[in-house]
Amino acid sequence: MFRLKRAYEGAAKDDGFRVLVERLWPRGVTRAKAKLDLWLKEVAPSPALRQWFSHDPAKWNEFRRRYRAELEANPDTLRLLRDKSKAGVVTLVYGSRDEHHNAALALKEILESSAKT
**Cα–Cα distance between 45 and 59 in angstroms, integer?**
14
Give the pLDDT confidence score for residue 113 in this predicted structure.
86
Give the pLDDT confidence score for residue 29 in this predicted structure.
92
**Whether 21 contacts 106, CB under 8 Å:** no
Q: Taking the CB of residue 107, how many other CB atoms lie within 10 A of it?
A: 27
**Which pLDDT tens digit goes with each residue over 71-101?**
998 888 899 999 999 999 999 999 998 899 9
Our measurement of the distance from residue 100's CA atom to the centroid of its chain's CA atoms, rounded to an integer in Å, reads 13
Give the pLDDT confidence score for residue 77 in this predicted structure.
85
Q: Judge if pTM exceeds 0.85.
A: yes
Q: Reply yes or no on whether the pLDDT at 116 is more than 60.
A: no
DSSP string across the chain: -EEEEETTSPP-GGG-EEEE--SSPPTT--HHHH--SEE-GGGSPPHHHHHHHTT-GGGHHHHHHHHHHHHHT-HHHHHHHHHHHHTS-EEEEE--S-SSSSHHHHHHHHHHHHHH-
**Which pLDDT tens digit goes with each residue over 2-55?**
999 999 998 999 999 999 999 999 999 999 999 999 999 999 999 999 999 998
